[in-house]
Amino acid sequence: MERLRVVGGAKLVGTVRVSGAKNSALKLMAATLLAPGQSKITNLPAIADVEYMAELLTRLGCKVDIKRDSNEVLIDVPQKLGHRADYDMVRKMRASINVLGPLIARELVAEVALPGGDAIGSRGLDFHINGLTEMGAEVSSEHGFIIAKAPAGLKGAKITLEFPSVGATENIMTAATLATGTTVIDNAAREPDVVDLGEFLISMGAKISGLGSHTITIEGVSKLTPTTHATLADRIVSGTWAFAAAMTQGDITIENGRADHLELPLDKLVEAGAVVTTTKTGFRVKMDKRPIAVDVATLPYPGFPTDLQPMVITLNAIAEGTSIVTENVFEGRFMFVNELLRLGAKIQVDGHHAAITGIKQLSAAPVAATDIRAGAGLVLAALVSDGVTIIEDAFHIDRGYPDFPAQLQSLGADVSRT
């Protein structure tokens, strides 16, 4: 297993450039299945999950050409697709479930293994299944697979989500593009990644309105055509760098970062004592003192992102004062706290709440990443620890952060792979 060795005490200073969003690029790749022919996705992040999605699409019959020198991928989709996504691929990443909507729309049948991905708690597929069922699909679960069939084709429906699930919104939206009639998704997810996917579908010829609101309307069309699209900048990576600047009392300019997609997290950093300014190409975060503890509750967008919860917990762990962090999205996110306790943090977890008493510095110790964001949070924790921290299972970090050690080194950190 790959490990990261991090020497504490660095003050991160400099400029980093943020590439395309993991949570957008993978969904865009899956959505190319809707249109036979060659689509191009640019501003592609150089992460392991892109390779996994490319392999999955290849197994479904596509020709996939990832061009690392230009950060783009060409996906040639055949007229006739395979319809089975096996467990050995799907277990590697949660985003594999996003082939479900396009496959049922194109082939009227889909067999997708129940997905894996990060260990951050229960993420059932009931909302996905209920939405497709309302559109006329017959959905069952057999031998670890979701099997969806719509021999008479999908039909538009009014679907109300009990929770604004990103994945369910995306699968229903992609399936609805080729359905007969109009589909309305109420209580839809509003994340920028959902908007990016919707704009990608519109460029393919889909008729979609209401992106970024609680109600998305899709008028089905008979066919879609290939397109070229630039992936949205990654707001979670941008937010990670913002918290890294505040935690290490550093000064980081985040090129290609979208401050408007991080309003609440950046407001919290200002509350903690940081100075945040926008630039022509992104934004800058500067901190010249120990952070002040901030209370946070995670919520769907535009609330505080659950993916930045490990970062704000780490910030509070070395901040002045006490704080409460409430997790409202994924109950398993607090698994990260167990590793932070090994570094000397003072945290008490009670259900969905973590009470944190800040200390001036954490203490280096061996820890293990349990998911992508926990891994990044542990790297930041190691940077504000006294000594050398070894982070096991660092492969998780590579799934979401392109060249993370190299970018940290460029900012003055002593980080290396072992």
Report residue 371 as tokens: 């998911």
For 285-335, write each residue's pLDDT tens digit: 999 999 999 999 999 999 999 999 999 999 999 999 999 999 998 777 788
How far is 88 from 91, CA to CA, in rounded Å? 6
Where is average pLDDT lowest: 65-69, 155-159, 198-202, 399-403? 399-403
Decide if 268 contacts 294 (C-beta within 8 A): yes
The residues pairing with 281 across neighbouring beta strands, listed in sequence order, are: none
Helix orientation angle between 309-317 and 335-342, rounded to the nearest 10 degrees: 30
Whole-prediction pTM value?
A: 0.94
Q: Across residues 28-40, what is the average pLDDT?
A: 98
Q: Across residues 44-55, what is the average pLDDT?
A: 93
How far is 416 from 91, CA to CA, in rounded Å? 28
Confidence label for 117 from pLDDT (cuts 50, 70 and 90): very low
pLDDT of 121 reads 42
pLDDT of 99 reads 95
Report residue 240 as tokens: 């990670």
Binding-site positions for UDP-N-acetyl-alpha-D-glucosamine read 94, 307, 329
pLDDT of 258 reads 97
Q: Across residues 203-229, what is the average pLDDT?
A: 98
How far is 34 from 204, CA to CA, in rounded Å? 9
How far is 371 from 119, CA to CA, in rounded Å? 6
Q: Look at residues 3, 1, 16, 5 and name the one whose alpha carbon lies nearest to residue 250.
A: 16
For 129-146, write each residue's pLDDT tens digit: 999 999 999 998 888 888
Give the torsion sign (CA, 87, 89, 92, 98). Answer: negative
Q: Is the per-residue pLDDT at 416 higher than 50?
A: yes
Residue % of the chain over a pLDDT of 90: 88
For 337-365, write each residue's pLDDT tens digit: 999 999 999 999 999 999 999 999 999 99
Q: Is the per-residue pLDDT at 191 higher than 80?
A: yes
Q: Is the per-residue pLDDT at 119 higher than 60?
A: no
In sequence order, the 6+-apart residues with CB closer than 8 A to the CB of 212 are 190, 194, 195
Grouping H, G, I as helix, E, B as strand and the rest as coil, residue 72 is strand
Q: Across residues 29-57, what is the average pLDDT?
A: 96
Report residue 3 as tokens: 């490990």
How far is 22 from 54, CA to CA, in rounded Å? 13
pLDDT of 88 reads 81
Q: Across residues 189-201, what is the average pLDDT?
A: 98
Grouping H, G, I as helix, E, B as strand and the rest as coil, residue 386 is coil
> ω before 366 within 30° of 0 (cis)?
no
Binding-site positions for phosphoenolpyruvate read 22-23
Q: Is the per-residue pLDDT at 1 higher than 90?
A: no
For 51-85, write each residue's pLDDT tens digit: 999 999 999 999 999 999 999 999 999 999 999 98
Q: Across residues 255-267, what is the average pLDDT?
A: 98
Helix ranges (H only) for 142-210 are: 166-176, 192-203
pLDDT of 90 reads 77
Catalytic residues: 118
Query: Domains in the chain, please, with CATH?
Result: 4-18+233-417 (3.65.10.10), 22-230 (3.65.10.10)
Q: Across residues 108-115, what is the average pLDDT?
A: 89
Decide if 199 contacts 211 (C-beta within 8 A): yes
Binding-site positions read 22-23, 94, 307, 329
- Give the residue, 209 or 112, on which the prediction is more confident: 209
CA atoms within 13 A on the CB side of 219: 3
Could you give the strand order of the β-sheet that contains 109-113, starting from the edge strand earlier in sequence? 84-85, 109-113, 145-149, 138-142
Grouping H, G, I as helix, E, B as strand and the rest as coil, residue 119 is coil
Confidence label for 96 from pLDDT (cuts 50, 70 and 90): confident
